[in-house]
Amino acid sequence: MGRNSFIQMTKLSNVKGRITYISSHAKQENLYAVYETTERKFWRELAKCNQEEFAKSGTEGKCIEARELIIALPESFTEYQPDRLLQLLTNHFKQNYGTECIAALHHNKRKTNYHIHLIFAERKLLDEPIIKIASRNMFYDENGKHVRTKKEILGEDGEIREGCSIVKKGEVYEKKLFTVKEERFKSNSFLDEVKHSYTDLINIYVKDENQKLQVFERGSVYLATKKIGKNNPKAQEIEADNQKRREWNRAVDMALISGVPEPKIMEVKRKEITEPIRKSIARRGNRPRLFSRVVTVAVEALEFLIASVLFKKPREVPKQTEQTETEHPEHVAENSTAAVETTKEEKVEPEQPKMTRLASKYPKLFKVNKELEDQNGAIQQKQKQLSAKKKELSEVKGWFKGRKKKELQNEIDELKSQIRDMKDYLPRIVQKIGYRSVQEFLKDFKASQTEYSQYRTAIAKWKKETGKEPVAHGIRAKLAEKKQEIQNEQKNKQHIRSQNKDRGAR
């Protein structure tokens, strides 16, 4: 699978401290740029406003003063000017959501993770501040809550309790500079929206098609791998978890190529992974070791489904269309502009059918699909060999068969390694032509196959009605024609030079 975009959102309970941390050269080893859409005093006032509103609400926990996005960038982006890159990505957020931001462009210590810290406000400045003046003395208790009488803030000794306050008549008792917090920043859909928006923007500036990012969609047939941060104490545990996820994803690729419908794969994923994990967490909490066992069972269930599909209905490999001069996409009239003048007595002939862009890709996609199927078939053969070796090992018994057992176990381990490497090669086959996963490729391949078949049917009908052969107006046809013209010119020049030499010899 291709690289997924990584965007993480966190809540900030000390926005001023966080801004200092991400924007300070003293605290950051590799700080390349800082960009702000407003003055620093904005964040001081914002923090004050949020703390006051939080105190009034009486909510337990920590006050959320702002939110932060951590956006991972492709390493190739180090080629771009840091200031301009950061400004582009920060203004993109402000333009979309209309809120103030401050961002910093960093590298980690080993310079392997190029990323942006983008802090944004959940409130906006009001066009005009709302200032309220007390028409009489106002009394506030220790929690900042307004009470009706002075008695309610007095202690047993008749003095004002510590933390209570009085706002005298004519003084400002409330000053609002900001709107209420926008609810959408709290929703799960907001982060998904941001991921898609930034992934699309980043991909515009990725030069290598194979390095383009994708958003891992929820409800995908695949399992997303987890990112391992710097000095993560659970790095080994996460890596072991990722290995099991890759094992499932390899099995998914094989299932898709073998012709297992996506709904069937999703059903196995739901019944064998999603539901068991959800029930286990509800009963006993998070248990990392359980996930490994659950995925192992799910992979076995998916492999059984693959075998049953191949056994019941062997997949038919579509025959490659004969690419004659009239049928190959390079001979298609894509942009025919010729106008036919007709008289009243003449019959108007139908226009030659045009091939769609996706249909023109079919011959190329066909070859790639054939390579996938061949690789998939080779894996199936290796798995049969593995099953035979396991069976042979189980039948070897006795105290004096240790050497034989060891040899068989080594062969089994070698076959497992070969199968894993062969499965890993499946997504690389489609990545070579710009697809990020086998699933994405197969969707395009099937669509192109349908459109190409429709085109051939339309061409056959057109030939029958007109009695003509399709005219070649494709780009490749034009290049071939130009090449032929150049060759003819070269032959003529050689002929002229030859004649001149003959004259000189006389």
pLDDT of residue 223: 87
Looking at every residue in the chain, the average pLDDT score rounds to 83
pLDDT of residue 474: 52
**Range with lowest mean pLDDT among 60-69, 308-317, 421-430:** 308-317
In one letter, which amino acid is 110?
A: R
In angstroms, the Cα distances linking 433 to 85, 131, 142, 289, 441 are 28, 62, 67, 38, 9
Task: Quick: pLDDT tens for 164-200.
Answer: 988 898 887 777 888 999 998 988 789 889 998 999 8
Find the mean pLDDT for residues 215-240. 76
pLDDT of residue 45: 92
Interacting residues of 487 by C-beta distance below 8 A, sequence separation 6+:
none
**Range with lowest mean pLDDT among 70-74, 253-257, 290-294, 493-497:** 493-497
Name the more confident of 290 and 494: 290
pLDDT at 498 over 70: no
The Cα 269–Cα 290 span in angstroms is: 15
Q: Which two tokens stand for residue 12?
A: 């900030």
The Cα 246–Cα 495 span in angstroms is: 65
Phi-psi region of 111 (alpha: psi -120 to 50; beta: other; left: phi over 0): left
pLDDT of residue 364: 93
Report residue 471 CA to chain centroid gap.
Answer: 42
Q: Which two tokens stand for residue 88?
A: 């582009």
pLDDT at 32 over 80: yes
Find the mean pLDDT for residues 212-236. 75
pLDDT of residue 334: 39
In one letter, which amino acid is 115?
A: H
Q: Which two tokens stand for residue 228?
A: 């391992």
pLDDT of residue 317: 44
The Cα 68–Cα 103 span in angstroms is: 9
Name the more confident of 402 and 300: 300
Q: Which H, E and C letters describe 306-366, residue by residue? A: HHHHHHHCCCCCCCCCCCCCCCCHHHCCCCCCCCCCCCCCCCCCCCCCCCCHHHHCHHHHH
The Cα 160–Cα 410 span in angstroms is: 84
Q: Are 125 and 178 in contact (CB under 8 A)?
A: yes
Interacting residues of 319 by C-beta distance below 8 A, sequence separation 6+:
none
pLDDT of residue 214: 74
Identify the residue whose tokens are 């401050």: 102
Find the mean pLDDT for residues 280-301. 82
Angle between helical axes of 288-312 and 275-284 (0-180°, round to 10): 160
Q: Are 181 and 121 in contact (CB under 8 A)?
A: no
Task: Quick: pLDDT tens for 377-397.
Answer: 999 999 999 999 999 888 888
Q: Are 17 and 40 in contact (CB under 8 A)?
A: no
Report residue 451 CA to chain centroid gap.
Answer: 27
Name the more confident of 490 and 309: 309
Neighbours of 441 (CB within 10 A): 23
Q: Which two tokens stand for residue 117?
A: 């810290």
- Residue 255's nearest CA partner among 300, 320, 210 is 300
Q: Which H, E and C letters describe 65-100, residue by residue? A: CEEEEEEEECHHHHHCCHHHHHHHHHHHHHHHHCCC
Residue 425 — very low, low, confident or very high, per pLDDT cuts 50/70/90?
very high
What phi and psi values does residue 133 have, to the nearest 5 degrees? -110, 135
Number of H helices, E strands in the chain: 13, 10
The Cα 386–Cα 406 span in angstroms is: 15
Work out the percent of the chain whose per-residue pLDDT is above 90: 38
List strand residue ranges (DSSP E) for 411-490, in order.
none
